[in-house]
Amino acid sequence: MNKSFRVIIVGLGNMSVEWLRYAASRPNMIKIVALVDVVREAAERRAAEFQLDVPVFTDVDAALRACPADLLWDITLPETREAVVSAALVQGLDVMAEKPMGASWAAANRLRSLARQTGHRYLIMQNRRYHPQLRQLRALVEAETVGQVGLATADFFLGPHFGGFRETMAHPLLLDMAIHTFDQARFVLGSNPTSVYCHSYNPRGSWYQGDAAAIAIFEWDHGAVFEYRGSWAANGAPTSWESSWRIVGSQGTALWDGNLPPYAEVLDRPETDTFFRLTHRQEAAPPANGEGGHVAALDAMLTALVEDRPADTECDDNLLSVAMVFAAIQSATIGQKVAIPGGIR
């Protein structure tokens, strides 16, 4: 990648560290020209930490007026996403931003429409899509190792004490975390959901104000079902942050615990008429070389910009993952199955 980008970074909280480390590792490609945070001291601390001699602003519009740039990195909270991304797109910059794409379904739609209207790019950080083992799991499904998929499940049970905004959100699990697993499900299954029924709740002993747990059942466009069970207030026996996955197909089952490489148990002789048919274990192909997580996601987004082609996490595609989130929230609110995306308000 020979092209270089002049970058304005907005939001210098804890999430910005991964982005700044990446920028520091690509000095010939990324030139940071300004830092923006509503708390000036936060931006100044990051500038000192990463030895950046750049102007600091508390207002994104002021930074856009003062500093010529090609690209804006939005690492702010979801509530400010629309204002920050809109300002950059209108001023002619492409945008790479943290998830979620918007703090509401309407906001996400407006940003997608504005990106189309301005002709500029809006790409979203879905770093877990780039986990090497998740890509191994996807390869098992793509190769039809387990036959035609009928059921996919993902369990997510952790008990982090974040403090801050997450513990006051109405739907912390669904809005701030489940987007990762929902996006992974679309990626692994290679298709999209058509409806969801979701029950969300706040379990006993929870330290969250909103619903920290949820069970969601998605119907998929090729006839499969995806079931998500999760809690952010689960003490003991934690799953991986990547969830624990089971993909049940017509010829076997693929498993991934989020820590060890995935594998499948596949029928030996599908035609054998026995009560329990014999199976054999089939390992996933080795993962591709290279890093995963934020590094892989940032590399992929920047490569797409350089090559002027759609990214895996372009706003047009990511809107479908966001649709899963807000449809699940709507279903939990009204207690009914909700169509995706037409029934989302």
pLDDT tens sequence across 140-160? 999 999 999 999 999 999 999
The pLDDT value recorded for residue 272 is 58
* Residue 41 neighbours by CB distance under 10 Å: 10
Helix, strand, coil percentages (3-state) for the chain, rounded to 5, are 35, 25, 40
**Which CATH number is 5-124 given?**
3.40.50.720
The pLDDT value recorded for residue 341 is 78
Query: Which segments in the chain show pLDDT lower than 70?
Result: 1, 270-278, 290, 342-345
pLDDT tens sequence across 297-339? 999 999 999 999 999 999 999 999 999 999 999 999 999 999 9
Fold match between 5-124 and 128-289+324-339?
Answer: no
The pLDDT value recorded for residue 268 is 83
The pLDDT value recorded for residue 278 is 66
The pLDDT value recorded for residue 344 is 64
The pLDDT value recorded for residue 291 is 75
Rounded CA-CA distance 280/271 in Å is: 15
Domain extents in the chain: 5-124, 128-289+324-339
Look up the CATH superfamily of 128-289+324-339: Dihydrodipicolinate Reductase; domain 2 (3.30.360.10)
